[in-house]
Amino acid sequence: MDIVTFPHPGLRRPSKPLKRVDADLRRVIREMFDKMYEAKGIGLAANQVDLPLRLFIVNLEAKPGAGEELVFINPIISLPRGGSEEAEEGCLSLPGVYGQVVRPKQVRLNAYSLSGTEFEADLSGLMARCCQHELDHLDGVLFPDRMSPTARADIADDLDMFETEYASRRTTGEIPTDDQLAERWAQWESRYA
Ligand code: ZN
């Protein structure tokens, strides 16, 4: 399992709701936590490891044995319950790129836990921001899409660099073709979505 980087097509593809969880998927989720910690991240969406299912994980402490390991399955965020605020964001699929993003300060999130229990949480602060960022991933949205045009202009060169590198890795066959990706997604979806 590897964390995929922009502009991997899986990052632009809306993920399918998850219908079941089994031992294999639990192992995959465990591995997602390990990858996230390795990359020193606080959140990771399934499509960032090319898994086309609606789930993301969070641990605000970014390391094993500290903080709480949270799994959000089929998450839904409801309307903002307060103002908005601006803060800097980064993304494990855009390593080294940071930008200011305005988001609702407080959100209500409904999701299922790994054990299948439905839960509801009113979130604020970093947790609210992180969950909104991760849920965006599941809809194929990346944080630069939420930046102001002027702020985005500042990172345009970085994004171009990622595009160029991706194109060259694809020519060498290091990255699967669109057909191979589609086949892989179809396999996951037939099993879990
Ligand atoms: Zn991200």
pLDDT band of 162, cuts 50, 70, 90: very high
Q: What percent of the chain has pLDDT over 70?
A: 99
Residue 177 lies in a domain: yes
Does 152 fall in a domain?
A: yes
In the predicted model, what is the mean pLDDT of residues 145-154? 96
69 is catalytic: no
Give the mean pLDDT of 45-70.
96
Domain count within the chain: 1
- ∠ CA 108-90-75, nearest 5°, is 25
Backbone φ and ψ of 143, nearest 5°: -60, -35
Residue 156 lies in a domain: yes
146 domain residue, yes or no: yes
Q: How many angstroms does the Cα of residue 137 sit away from the middle of ligand 1?
A: 7
Q: Compute the distance from residue 116 Cα to the ligand 1 centre, in Å.
A: 25
Position 79 scores a pLDDT of 77
* pLDDT class of 81 with cuts at 50, 70, 90: low
Mean pLDDT calculated for residue range 29-55:
98
Domain for residue 4, yes or no? no
Q: What is the CATH number of the domain that holds 22?
A: 3.90.45.10
Strands 107-112 and 118-123, by their bridges, are antiparallel
Check whether 28 has a pLDDT greater than 90: yes
Structure tokens at 66: 């500290």
Q: Taking residues 12-23, what's their average pLDDT?
A: 96
Average pLDDT of every residue of the chain: 95
Judged by average pLDDT, the poorest of 28-37, 63-72, 127-136, 172-181 is 172-181
Tokens (6 digits) for 188: 């996951």
Residue 164: inside a domain, yes or no? yes
Tally of CB atoms within 10 A around 27: 10
Q: What is the pLDDT of residue 72?
A: 98
**CA–CA gap between residue 42 and residue 36 (Å, rounded):** 7
Express each pLDDT in 96-133 by its tens digit: 999 999 999 999 999 999 999 999 999 999 999 999 99
**Position 3 in a domain:** no
For 40, left (φ over 0), alpha (ψ -120 to 50), or beta?
A: left
Return residues with CB closer than 5 A to ligand 1 (ion): 91
Res 80 pLDDT > 80: no
Q: Say how many Å lie between the CA of residue 150 and the centre of ligand 1.
A: 20
- By residue range, what is the domain housing residue 109? 9-188
For residue 16, the 8-state DSSP code is B
